[in-house]
Amino acid sequence: MAKIKTGIKEFNEIATGLPMPSAILVQGPPGAGKSIFSLLLMDTRGKEKKVVLLTNNTPAEIKEEMKASKIGFEPGIIDCYSWLSGGKAAVDSLANLSKVTFLIEDAISEGAIVLFDSLTPLILYNSEEEIERFMQQAIAIVKSKGALILFTLDSSTYPSDAEETFRSLCDGVISLDPAKGLTILKMRGMQAPSKPFFYEIGAKGFKLRAR
């Protein structure tokens, strides 16, 4: 099984990278650092095409976060958020998941890395069944290209059974919690560590160590 080294040295030592192709869910409470952590995972220093689809932030906000964390790559950005404030966006509503699926398919190429940030606001416009179907379609498209997709999700946004369904669709699940640490709940191709890890995200990047 092929694996890709991430931009986080300590994570590579624990998980030996991320499986390709695959779908990875990064979940945790608001403010846990899911977006920056996912962007750091994408910072592979490789030639893979990198795409960030935004439903929770403006392009300017995510670029500022990347600059503050010294993330060097420049991803293609699909803005699915700015329509909320009357700005120009790739969609006019997050209820149009078929358009979002098309945008993902149109943007990626063989071996690409995609960040879908985030699944959280989709619940305001779609049923759980529609979101599940969207994830299935997006994951199928990404895997057909030998690519990788990262989804972020605020925990406790959806009912527990829906969150469990989302986790079951993904090859890997990583939980971030400032109080409990980073936990790899599952990852295809490896036995998940039984203990969580302390983590810090700051100007010097991402620091990870055993509890």
- Report how far residue 119's alpha carbon sits from residue 35's, in angstroms, rounded to the nearest whole number: 12
**Residue 38 near residue 182, CB atoms below 8 Å:** no
Q: What pLDDT does 206 receive?
A: 81
Q: Is 0.95 surpassed by the pTM of this model? A: yes
Q: To the nearest whole number, what is the mean pLDDT of the chain?
A: 94
**pLDDT single digits (tens) 122-139:** 999 999 999 999 999 999
The per-residue pLDDT for range 17-50, each reduced to its tens digit, is 999 999 999 999 999 999 999 999 999 988 899 9
Q: Sorting pLDDT into bands at 50, 70 and 90, what band is 211? A: low
Give the pLDDT of residue 112.
97
Q: Would the pLDDT of 64 be above 80?
A: yes
Amino acid 209: pLDDT: 78
Report the CATH number that the domain containing residue 38 is assigned in CATH. Answer: 3.40.50.300
Average pLDDT, integer, range 74-103: 96
Q: How many separate domains does the chain show? A: 1
Percentage above 70 pLDDT, the chain = 98
Residue 202: pLDDT over 80 = no
Residue pair 135/169 in contact (Cβ under 8 Å)? The answer is yes
Q: To the nearest whole percent, how much of the chain has pLDDT over 90?
A: 85
Going along 14-80, which residue ranges are E strands? 18-20, 22-28, 50-54, 76-79
How far from chain centre, in Å, is Cα 48? 16
- The two tokens of residue 80 are 């699915």
For residue 113, what is the enclosing H or E element? strand 113-117
Give the domain range for residue 144.
2-210
Q: What are the tokens at 182?
A: 């980073």
Strand partners, 182: 176, 197
Instruction: Say what the pLDDT of residue 160 is.
Output: 96
**pLDDT value of position 192:** 87
